[in-house]
Every structure is written in structure tokens, then in C-alpha cells.
Amino acid sequence: MREIVTLQCPVCKERNYTTTKNKKTTTGRLEFSKFCNRCRKHTDHKETK
């Protein structure tokens, strides 16, 4: 079953993106390089609760 997770910018702590992940196959935390509007640059967004 897929679950909705939120991605957060580590620099400004803004939660910019949501995505889904399969909890059975992906046990670790997701991390994507995404653009942050507040920082105005690409940062490594990490999964939060």
C-alpha cells in the first residue's frame, strides 16, 4: 500500500512537495533534489512525517 509523504527543505524547513512511497519496499527515508521557492535554489529535500 502506498502512503503519502511530505518533503521538507533542510535549509529553511519549508514543506514544499508531497509524493507517495511504498512502505514495504522502501523502508528508508526518501531524499530528492528539488527546487525550494523560499531559498530560490535546488536543495536536497528529505521526507518528513
CATH number of 2-48: 2.20.28.120
Kindly report the number of other CB atoms within 10 A of residue 7's CB atom: 20
Q: What is the pTM of this model?
A: 0.85
Amino acid occupying residue 44: D
* Tens digits of residue pLDDT in 2-49: 999 999 999 999 999 999 999 999 999 999 999 999 999 999 999 997
C-alpha 2: how far from its chain's center?
Answer: 15
Q: Which of 42, 3, 43, 48 is nearest to 30 (CA)?
A: 48
What grid cell was written down for 4? 503519502
- Give the angle 20-30-39 at the CA atoms, nearest 5°: 100
Place of cell 514495504: 24
